[in-house]
């Protein structure tokens, strides 16, 4: 029988559950504090009697996720988690320790239906949406990882304090399309803001361009950051690598995105993964990273308040793309900058642990076959 997840209980439900174990009301407050810190098991709850911890372990579980695998990059800056949900589905989240704080990249779905030709996440298809609590639990996994014993009894500070072991930034850029699960994503963001004090402007939602979802974010009215996974400056090219473009064309996506950023006076983030292909001689030829496409991208974004993140492709065995050379990446960036487009090359993190979206989940699935 599946054990109940105490994190999912309201305070009243938790109090009632513990009363059934003949526990006083104050135990619910103690356990809630541990759950809100991300305690992965009852053994971690140091101020709970040992016999009660053992009893709770036999009849319940703490969080709606459990760690199946954890990988640390050699430089110590990136930790990637493979997590299992209560129904056996698996997701990923990534903790990145940066100069500006501790950032966590979370998944919004188990799998993905977008079918982007360069991505590992979509290879296993979409299994289901995540609940708001399942998304929030990923933050707690990272929070627990960050906090050593000396921080476990300290409150979480507004906007996060890296020196206090806090998560300070959130990017909803992991497995899945957030705006196919918009209401649960909104619920998660609201809780991250209210329970952890993470400011709206430290939270980023990345989308392939689900126009109704962007419209919902406009209606919602919170001043979060929006990132568009663009990856091509024309409908023809974008439809080749992102099938969703056949439903939501580039003009409609960008129109909705500009209206969102104008409403909130925010800079739009443009994600652009740089791809090559192997020719018959095994040489890499540029695909969406040619000087011509750089000019087209410049025209599309001219005069707009945006920042282009250029992303060197992280190889996926099942995909037939190749990574452009460092020189090609810099030439593409230089062309955009020359045309007045704010541009940066995203620093590669965790390449030694397969930190690209969906890689750990995919590799784990393959290892079971």
Active site residues: 92, 357
CA distance 141 to 138: 5
Strands 284-286 and 276-278 turn out to be: antiparallel
- The residues facing 172 across adjacent strands are 205
Going across the sheet that includes 306-312, the strands are 65-72, 78-85, 90-98, 101-105, 169-172, 203-207, 225-229, 268-274, 306-312, 343-345
Which residue in 211, 242, 219, 218 sits closest to 229, CA to CA?
242
Which residue in 260, 288, 285, 264 sits closest to 274, CA to CA?
288
Q: Torsion angle, CA of 134/136/142/146, rounded to 10 degrees?
A: -150
CA distance 358 to 369: 17
Give the 3-state secondary structure of residue 322.
strand
Which residue in 289, 320, 322, 309 sits closest to 349, CA to CA?
309
């Amino acid at each position: 029988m599946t054990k109940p997840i105490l994190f999912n209980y309201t305070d009243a439900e938790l109090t009632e559950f513990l009363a059934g174990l003949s526990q006083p009301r104050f135990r619910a407050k103690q356990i809630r504090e541990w759950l809100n810190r991300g305690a992965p098991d009852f053994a971690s709850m140091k101020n709970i009697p040992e016999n009660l911890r053992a009893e709770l372990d036999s009849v319940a579980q703490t969080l709606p996720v459990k760690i199946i695998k954890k990988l640390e990059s050699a430089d110590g800056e990136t930790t990637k988690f493979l997590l299992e949900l209560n129904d056996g589905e698996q997701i990923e989240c990534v903790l990145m320790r940066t100069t500006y704080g501790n950032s966590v990249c979370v998944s919004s779905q188990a799998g993905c239906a977008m079918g982007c030709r360069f991505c590992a996440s979509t290879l296993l298809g979409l299994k289901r949406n995540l609940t708001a609590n399942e998304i929030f639990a990923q933050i707690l996994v990272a929070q627990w990882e960050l906090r050593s014993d000396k921080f476990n009894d300290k409150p979480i500070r507004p906007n996060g304090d890296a020196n206090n072991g806090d998560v300070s930034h959130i990017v909803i850029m992991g497995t899945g399309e957030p705006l196919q699960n918009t209401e649960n994503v909104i619920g998660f963001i609201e809780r991250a803001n209210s329970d952890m004090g993470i400011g709206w402007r430290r939270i980023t939602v990345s989308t392939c361009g689900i126009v109704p979802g962007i419209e919902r974010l406009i209606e919602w009215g919170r001043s979060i950051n929006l990132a568009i996974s663009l990856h091509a400056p024309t409908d023809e090219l974008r439809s080749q690598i992102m099938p969703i473009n056949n439903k939501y064309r580039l003009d409609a996506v960008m129109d909705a995105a500009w209206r969102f950023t104008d409403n909130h006076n925010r800079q739009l983030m443009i994600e652009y993964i740089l791809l090559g292909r192997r020719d018959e001689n095994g040489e890499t030829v540029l695909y969406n990273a040619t000087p011509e496409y750089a000019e087209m991208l410049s025209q599309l974004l001219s005069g707009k308040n945006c920042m282009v993140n250029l992303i060197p492709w992280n190889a996926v065995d099942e995909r037939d793309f190749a990574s452009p050379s460092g020189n090609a990446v810099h030439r593409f960036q230089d062309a955009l900058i020359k045309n007045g487009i704010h541009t940066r090359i995203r620093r590669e993190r965790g390449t030694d642990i397969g930190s690209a979206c969906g890689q750990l989940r995919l590799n784990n699935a393959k290892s079971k076959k």
